[in-house]
Amino acid sequence: MAPRPPRFLEDQYDAYPDNQELKTVYFQAEGLSYTGGDRHVLLWWYNDFQPGSAPVIQIVQLTGQGGNYQYYAPVANTRDLQTLMKRHLQVELGMYSRADRDKILTLADSVVFSKSSVTNGCRVWTRDLLSAMVSSGLLDLSIFRQIVEQVPLPERVAEQ
């Protein structure tokens, strides 16, 4: 793999890279329910989980905010498991092999976005990614529909 460009200071991927294990991939939405307005969403899986310590998770997300978006991969960070599970909506997408997770990263890298968009943010980007996963046979359509409705994930619209 070629050297990755610099990004988040807290990135721990080099110390805790993905491995060949079969892993559950999760969809996460900020908060337990939708209260309107912006709501950050992402995909994640464990890269390292040792009892008694905070897990390191690999994150797939469009970062930034309206007018300043970026996509970086791979990225892994330490997260408090209690916070992840108790404060944010979590949906299990399924069990994925390393090849499947690499395909998710490839699909994520191919999702088109405008860095300067104030119209199509991370929820739109993630909807496009999940849709590509459905088309590639990586995600069940019923899970996609559940997430789109529950979060919600808006469809892409023309840039303003």
How is residue 84 written in tokens? 């992840």
Q: Tens digits of per-residue pLDDT, 38-75? A: 899 999 999 998 888 889 999 999 998 888 899 989 99
How is residue 150 written in tokens? 């529950």
Q: Is 76 exposed, middle or buried (0-12, 13-18, 19+ CB in 10 A)?
A: buried
- DSSP category for residue 38: -
Lowest mean pLDDT among 19-28, 65-74, 87-96, 103-112: 65-74
Contacts of 20 (CB under 8 A, 6+ apart): 97, 98
Question: What pLDDT sits at residue 49?
Answer: 86
